[in-house]
Amino acid sequence: MKKILVANRGEIALRVMRSAQKMGIKTVAVYSEADRQAPHVRFADEAVCLGPPPSAQSYLVMDKVIEVCHELEVDGIHPGYGFLSENATFAQKVEDAGITFIGPRPHAIEIMGSKLAAKEAVKSYDIPMVPGIEEAITDVQKAKDIAAEIGYPILIKASAGGGGKGMRVVNAEGELEEQMNRAISEATSAFGDGSVFIEKYVTSPRHIEIQVLADTHGHTIHLFERECSIQRRHQKVVEEAPSCVLTPQLRAEMGAAAVRVAQACDYVGAGTVEFLLDADHRFYFLEMNTRLQVEHPVTEMITGVDLVEQQIRIARGEHLQILQEHLQITGHALELRVYAEDPMDNFLPNVGELTQYEIPTLDGVRVDDGYEAGMEIPIYYDPMIAKLITYGTNREEAISLMKKAINQYKIEGIRTTLPFGTYVCDHDAFISGDFDTHFVKNHYQPEQIAAAEKQEAEAAAIFGKFIFAQAEEKLKVPTSTQSNWKNR
Residues near ligand MV4 (CB under 6 A): 130, 155, 164, 199-202, 205, 207, 231, 234, 276, 286-287, 437
Question: Would you call 15 a catalytic residue per the annotation?
Answer: no
User: Would you put residue 207 in left (φ > 0), alpha (ψ -120 to 50) or beta?
Assistant: beta
* Closer residue to ligand MV4 (CB): 65 or 109: 109
**Can you tell me whether residue 166 is helix, strand or coil?**
coil
Q: How far is the CB of 420 from ligand MV4 (least distance, A)?
A: 16
The 8-class DSSP code of residue 476 comes to P
Q: CB 155 → ligand MV4: shortest distance, Å? A: 5
Contact 104, 268 (CB under 8 A): yes
Q: What is the DSSP string of 230-281?
A: EEETTEEEEEEES-TT--HHHHHHHHHHHHHHHHHTT--EEEEEEEEE-TT-
Task: Report helix, strand or coil for 100.
Answer: strand
Of 200, 207, 115, residue with least CA distance to 166:
115
- Shortest CB 180 distance to ligand MV4, Å: 15
Nearer of residues 98 and 164 to ligand MV4, judged by Cβ: 164
CA distances to 205, 274, 407 from 261, rounded to whole Å, are: 20, 10, 41
Task: Say if strands 220-232 and 365-369 run parallel, antiparallel, or are unpaired.
Answer: unpaired
> What letter would DSSP give residue 55?
G
The helix or strand, by DSSP H or E, that contains position 156, with its residue range, turns out to be strand 154-158
Looking at the Cβ atoms of 130 and 411, the one nearer to ligand MV4 is 130
In sequence order, which residues have a C-beta less than 8 Å from that of residue 272 and are 6 or more positions away? Answer: 209, 210, 211, 212, 226, 288, 289, 291, 293
Q: Which is nearer to ligand MV4, 12 or 286 (CB)?
A: 286
CB 116 within 8 A of CB 159: yes
Give the nearer residue to ligand MV4 in terms of CB position, either 250 or 322.
250
Chain centroid to CA 344: 21
Asked if residue 255 lies in contact with residue 271, where contact means CB atoms within 8 angstroms, the answer is no
DSSP assignment of 346-412? TTEE--SB-SEEE----TTEEEEE---TT-B--TTS--EEEEEEEEESSHHHHHHHHHHHHHH-EEE
Q: Which is nearer to ligand MV4, 100 or 229 (CB)?
A: 229
CB of 384 to ligand MV4, least distance (A): 17
Question: What is the rounded distance in angstroms from the CA atom of residue 321 to the CA atom of residue 306?
Answer: 12
For residue 287, the minimal CB distance to ligand MV4 (Å) is 6
Nearer to ligand MV4, 114 or 437 (CB): 437
- Closest distance of CB 290 from ligand MV4, Å: 14
CB of 82 to ligand MV4, least distance (A): 16
Given the residues 105, 291, 337, 366, select the one marked as catalytic.
Answer: 291
Q: Which residues are catalytic?
A: 291
